[in-house]
Amino acid sequence: MKTGIRDDATKRLSRIAGQVAGLQRMVEEDRYCVDILTQISALRGSLDQLGLIMLSTHLESCVYGHDGDTQCANMTAEERLNEIRVTLNRFLK
């Protein structure tokens, strides 16, 4: 994984951890349910964005080898399609 992508993912994960901690405090403080649901929605959005970054990075580097990955250089078109299917299946569950 490229350093810039890793740094971005690390920052996003730190923010996500903060969001989870905030949600935990909201529940412990018996905050208004709609406020908690709003924060859950924001957390879900943050996770989705991180997932999209990871998905696109995997497709670009591991499936199509745009960063010089030699492992994918020997993949057939069918193997690449299968890798895309497997990856999407795991991400979209």
Each as own residue / partner, the long-range contacts of residues 59-66 (CB below 8 Å, 24 or more positions apart, any chain) are 59/84, 59/87, 61/1, 61/2, 63/87
pLDDT of 11 strictly over 80: yes
CA atoms within 13 A on the CB side of 67: 13
CATH number at residue 59: 1.20.58.1000
Indicate the number of domains in the chain. Answer: 1
Contact by Cβ (8 Å): 81, 89: no
Which sign does the torsion angle of CA 92, 48, 18, 33 carry? negative
Query: Which of 1-10, 19-28, 69-78 has the largest mean confidence?
Result: 19-28
Quick one: average pLDDT of 19-26? 98
Average pLDDT over residues 33-41: 98
Check whether 75 has a pLDDT greater than 90.
no
In the three-class reduction of DSSP (H, G, I as helix; E, B as strand; rest coil), residue 67 is classed as coil
Domain that holds residue 49: 3-92
- Token pair 């859950």 is found at 40
Reported as a pLDDT band with limits 50, 70 and 90, residue 71 is low
